Amino acid sequence: METILEAERKIPVKGYWDVIVVGGGTAGAIAGIAAAREGMKTLIVESHGFLGGSATASLVTPLMSNHVDGKPLNTGIGLEVMERLSQSGDCGKLHHNLGIFNWEMLKFTLEELYLEAGGELLYHSHFSAPLMAEKSIQGIIVETKSGRLALKGKVIIDATGDGDVAFKAGAPVESGDEFGINQAMSLRFSVGNIDLEKFADFLEELEGYRQSLPFFHASHVNGNRQALTPYFEKAYQDGVLEETDGDYFQIFGVPGRPGELSFNCPRISSKTDATNVDHLTNAQIEGRQRIKRLLNFLRKYLPGFENSYLVTVAGMVGVRESRRVRGEYYLTEDDYIEARKFPDGIAKNRYPIDIHSTKKGGGVNFHSNLAPNEYQEIPYRALVPLEIDNLLVSGRCISASFVAESSIRIQQNCHALGQAAGVAAALSIKEGLTVRELDGVKVRQTLIERGANL
């Protein structure tokens, strides 16, 4: 590839903070709230004009179930967010889990909680490079409409989802399965003006039970016989759908948005590297082509959708797995299967291993070997990257194998990991230690004091 040489230039320093959170998404927004509540001068840097990331920009609702005996394993700030959202009727329970939500109102709730804690925001700012002093990160450079800016901080939290900061700082990373292939991505969308009563009647005839309208759920996966399977097969025969359009199809209700349903599809299996701009571009283009076919299918084959219309398509591709940063502890499938606990455990998880096939047209590897009421823990050390100081990672890019990541990547775990990162950043500053020197047991104890279920 041809290259050019960029000239040196002076970059203004916009300011200094205790904690800078890069990415205000699922983990990052919670990390920022946690750090600010600990009294830290905190800045969240976010490329969009709102917080929430996958939950709000990718329309990923609901939260997947992660509970024991009907009680949530992830409490703390993440649960607090959902409880506040439920006060306006924009969040409700699905499968024992308070987590089926209105993504638009979640934007307001996250921002309100963060600002109430005293945090600062820098929207429409794109991470460009780390500010390094040998192996220590001192801040970041961002690209903005105001130009290139330098932001300095004592501790940086990489909550980009893709490990962007850690990767550019020189921390070791890995991505994909044993062949380097990533899980399938999705481009989610929602449809409005649906006659939900009519659609519920239709599903009741097929399934034998009545759906709760605000918390709807229906699905089809090629290779499985489900209630909607005959209608997909007819659409394939009629040329309305391509067969790969039915690789994964899932519908959820949306509290606070009457007559609207959210779609966890289409799934993109052709180009799945979320750190490759060409793959992301393809996901948006291919995704919209598939959505157009699915809209035609809905109106033609499913009662209740006759007068429906497209409400929104996610502005950000839904990514299940990309870079994973190697840390002081490396989570594996065995940690999950053996339900391992750790002295520095900062989150509990029993969500199944959930791998969306890395092969085009493939299904879903969804299974759990955990005994009833059993769970694994995620240690603080998995948030501490090797080789780089003053940096924590949070969210789905923490130190874990491809298989282990497929279980811990759900939003409630990311909430818990975000809170742990925010608390750890604050403790390290207060105690004058690097995040690597910080005792993870102290992080765990502090999280318990802040309402975490540990």
- Residue whose C-alpha is closest to residue 311's, from 192, 447, 142: 192
- Indicate whether 4 belongs to any domain: no
Q: Are residues 61 and 75 in the same domain?
A: yes
* Average pLDDT, integer, range 339-360: 89
Please tell me the predicted confidence (pLDDT) of residue 213.
Answer: 72
Q: Are residues 347 and 436 in the same domain?
A: yes
Q: Are residues 124 and 41 in the same domain?
A: yes
Q: Are residues 198 and 298 in the same domain?
A: yes
Contacts of 180 (CB under 8 A, 6+ apart): none
* Average pLDDT, integer, range 271-291: 97
Q: Are residues 419 and 307 in the same domain?
A: no
Structural domain harbouring 19:
13-180+321-449
Instruction: For residue 377, list its beta bridge partners.
Output: 348
pLDDT-derived band of residue 449, with 50, 70 and 90 as boundaries?
A: very high
Please tell me the predicted confidence (pLDDT) of residue 210.
Answer: 87
Q: Which amino acid is at 137?
A: I
Please tell me the predicted confidence (pLDDT) of residue 116.
Answer: 98
We report the CATH number of the domain holding residue 85 as 3.50.50.60
Tell me: pLDDT of 361 over 70: no
The CA angle 126-114-408, to the nearest 5 degrees, is 70
* Average pLDDT, integer, range 363-390: 91
pLDDT-derived band of residue 30, with 50, 70 and 90 as boundaries?
A: very high
Q: State the helix-helix crossing angle for 229-238 and 277-301, rounded to 10 degrees.
A: 100
- Indicate whether 215 belongs to any domain: yes
Q: Are residues 307 and 360 in the same domain?
A: no
DSSP 8-state symbol, 215: G
Q: Which amino acid is at 123?
A: Y
pLDDT-derived band of residue 359, with 50, 70 and 90 as boundaries?
A: low
Tell me: pLDDT of 360 over 60: no
The domain boundary residue, chosen from 313, 345, 375: 313
- Indicate whether 2 belongs to any domain: no
Q: Are residues 20 and 157 in the same domain?
A: yes
Please tell me the predicted confidence (pLDDT) of residue 367.
Answer: 74
Instruction: For residue 327, list its beta bridge partners.
Output: 385
How far apart CA 66 and CA 354 sit, in angstroms, is: 13
- Residue whose C-alpha is closest to residue 417's, from 315, 334, 331: 331
State the chain's mean pLDDT as an integer.
95
Q: How many domains does the chain have?
A: 2
How far apart CA 141 and CA 139 sit, in angstroms, is: 7
Q: Please, what sign has the CA dihedral across residues 44, 46, 49, 55?
A: negative
Q: What is the pLDDT of residues 283-335, one digit of tens each?
A: 999 999 999 999 999 999 999 999 999 999 999 999 999 999 999 999 999 99
Please tell me the predicted confidence (pLDDT) of residue 362.
Answer: 60
Cβ distance 74 to 204 under 8 Å? Answer: no
Tell me what percent of the residues of the chain surpass a pLDDT of 70.
Answer: 98
Among 45-59, 96-110, 413-427, name the one with the lowest average pLDDT: 96-110
pLDDT-derived band of residue 358, with 50, 70 and 90 as boundaries?
A: low
- Indicate whether 30 belongs to any domain: yes
* Average pLDDT, integer, range 220-224: 91
Tell me: pLDDT of 269 over 80: yes
- Residue whose C-alpha is closest to residue 318's, from 185, 226, 222: 185
Q: Are residues 408 and 283 in the same domain?
A: no
Higher pLDDT: 357 or 46? It is 46
The domain boundary residue, chosen from 313, 330, 362: 313
How far apart CA 240 and CA 367 sit, in angstroms, is: 32
Cβ distance 317 to 275 under 8 Å? Answer: no
The domain boundary residue, chosen from 294, 313, 332: 313
Among 199-213, 257-271, 351-365, name the one with the lowest average pLDDT: 351-365
Q: Are residues 161 and 39 in the same domain?
A: yes
Q: Are residues 265 and 353 in the same domain?
A: no
- Indicate whether 64 belongs to any domain: yes
| CB atoms near residue 79 (< 10 Å) | 20
Tell me: pLDDT of 18 over 90: yes
Instruction: For residue 153, list its beta bridge partners.
Output: 17
- Indicate whether 226 belongs to any domain: yes
Its pTM stands at 0.96
User: Is the bond into 266 cis (omega within 30 degrees of 0)?
Assistant: yes
Please tell me the predicted confidence (pLDDT) of residue 97.
Answer: 75
Q: Is 154 helix (H, G, I), strand (E, B) or coil?
A: strand
How far apart CA 270 and CA 273 sit, in angstroms, is: 10
Contacts of 211 (CB under 8 A, 6+ apart): 200, 203, 204, 217, 218
Q: Are residues 33 and 171 in the same domain?
A: yes
- Indicate whether 193 belongs to any domain: yes
Q: How many Cα atoms within 13 Å fall on the side-chain side of residue 128?
A: 12
Higher pLDDT: 213 or 119? It is 119
DSSP run (H or E) holding 356 = strand 353-356
Cβ distance 393 to 385 under 8 Å? Answer: yes
Please tell me the predicted confidence (pLDDT) of residue 366.
Answer: 72
> 48: which 2 tokens?
């969009």
Please tell me the predicted confidence (pLDDT) of residue 98.
Answer: 82
Q: Are residues 341 and 370 in the same domain?
A: yes
SS (H, E, C) 87-100: CCCCEEEECCEEEE
- Indicate whether 7 belongs to any domain: no
Task: Give the distance, in angstroms, between the CA of residue 235 and the centroid of all CA atoms in the same chain.
Answer: 32
Among 7-11, 139-143, 240-244, 381-385, name the one with the lowest average pLDDT: 7-11
